[in-house]
Structure 1
Amino acid sequence: MKIQQVEDKAFSTYGRVLEGYALSPLLKAMEHTPLPKGEVIYVPGMEELEDLPVANAFKDRAFGGLPIQVGFCNGFNTYLNAVEYHRSSEINVAVTDMILLVGRQQDITEDYTYDTDQIEAFLVPAGTAVEMYATTLHYAPCMTSEKGFRCVVILPKGTNTDVEIPADAKGEARLLTARNKWLIAHEDAKIEGAFCGLKGENVSV
Structure 2
Amino acid sequence: MKIQNVTDDSFRKYGKVLEGYDFTALIREMKHTPVPENVIYVASVEELESLDVARELQNKGYGGLPIEIGYCNGHNRKLNAVEYHRNSEINVAVTDLVLLIGHQQDIAPDFTYDTANIEAYLVPAGTGIEVYATTLHYAPCHVNDTGFQCVVVLPRGTNTDLTFQTETDGEDRLQTAKNKWLIAHEDAKIQGAFNGLKGKNISLDEE
Q: Same fold (TM over 0.5)?
A: yes
* Aligned partner letter, 1:121: A
Q: Compute the TM-score of the two structures, normalised by the length of structure 1.
A: 0.98
* Residues 1:190 and 1:167: Cα distance change in structure 2 (over 3 Å): same
Taking only the aligned residue pairs, the percentage that are identical comes to 63
* Residues 1:11 and 1:187: Cα distance change in structure 2 (over 3 Å): same
* Aligned partner letter, 2:173: R
Deviations along 1:93-150, one digit per CA (max 9) or x if unpaired, are 0000000000000000000000000000000000000000000000000000111000
CA contact (8 A) 1:184 1:196 kept: yes
Map residues 137-148 of structure 1 onto 2, 5 A cutoff: 137-148=136-147
Equivalent position of 2:40 in the other structure:
41
* Aligned partner letter, 1:34: P
CA contact (8 A) 1:184 1:197 kept: yes
CA contact (8 A) 2:158 2:178 kept: yes
CA contact (8 A) 2:166 2:173 kept: no
Equivalent position of 2:7 in the other structure:
7
For the residue of structure 2 that corresponds to 1:163, the secondary structure is coil
For the residue of structure 1 that corresponds to 2:90, the secondary structure is strand
For the residue of structure 2 that corresponds to 1:32, the secondary structure is coil
* Aligned partner letter, 1:189: A
Q: 1:32, 1:183 → 2: CA distance?
A: 29
Map residues 176-195 of structure 1 onto 2, 5 A cutoff: 176-195=175-194
For the residue of structure 2 that corresponds to 1:174, the secondary structure is helix
- Spell out structure 1 runs of 4+ moving beyond 6 A: none
Structure 2 stretches of 5 or more lacking a match? Answer: none
Equivalent position of 1:173 in the other structure:
172
Q: 1:167, 1:85 → 2: CA distance?
A: 17
User: Would you say how many aligned residue pairs link Structure 1 and Structure 2?
Assistant: 204
* Aligned partner letter, 2:20: G
Q: How far has the Cα of 1:167 moved from its partner?
A: 6.7
CA contact (8 A) 1:89 1:132 kept: yes
2:11 is the alignment partner of 1:22: no
Equivalent position of 1:65 in the other structure:
64
For the residue of structure 1 that corresponds to 2:182, the secondary structure is strand
Equivalent position of 2:131 in the other structure:
132
Equivalent position of 1:76 in the other structure:
75
Q: How far has the Cα of 1:166 moved from its partner?
A: 3.4
CA contact (8 A) 1:96 1:149 kept: yes
Q: How far has the Cα of 1:164 moved from its partner?
A: 3.9
160-169 or 77-86, larger mean C-alpha shift: 160-169
